[in-house]
Amino acid sequence: MKPEIVEAPKGHTGSGFFATSFDEVIGIARSNSLWPLPFATSCCGIEFMATMGSHYDIARFGSERPSFSPRQADLLMVMGTIAKKMAPIVKQVYLQMAEPRWVLAMGACACSGGIFDSYSVLQGIDRIIPVDVYVPGCPPRPEQVLEGLMQVQEMARNESLRRRNSEEYAHLLQSFNIQ
């Protein structure tokens, strides 16, 4: 998979200058410098490690710096089976991340509980935090992970700077008991 060259945003050019909107510049910067926080609990974590390796090289997409501190990350990648006892920790990690923040659920277990339809397994992380992109599979291939990352990049590139202050966004967070 070849990463695309970033296209110049819409703007006005002249002799020695280029002017565009602040939204466009911030969107390009955000989308090409995502810092993922990998929350890996099982086999999907191994696929993420393969995605980080030289063959697939997630660094081509501006995500070469995995952050293991939620305060320095803007993309939470939840991978693998999440037990119900672990749900409060996942939510706490999400809450410690600064805005804007995105969530990628990777693998059948993080998306829907997978094959573990039992009392102890959370049937999808979207029951505790909002999810932006789902990457299905058991485990998903590294190409799927890269496609999911590119979808998050597209969201980051096109998101308005003021969307996070909207009533709709506040209502979404309130539906997850997040203030």
Q: Tell me the binding residues for [4Fe-4S] cluster.
A: 43-44, 109, 138
d(CA 68, CA 118): 29
Q: Is the dihedral of CA 43, 151, 173, 24 positive or negative?
A: positive
**Annotated binding residues, as ranges?**
43-44, 109, 138
Nearest to 150 by CA among 44, 38, 6: 6
Q: Mention every residue, 6+ apart, whose C-beta is less than 8 A from residue 91.
A: 128, 129, 178
∠ CA(133), CA(136), CA(140), 5° rounding? 115
**Six-digit token string for 153:** 């990049």
d(CA 113, CA 109): 4
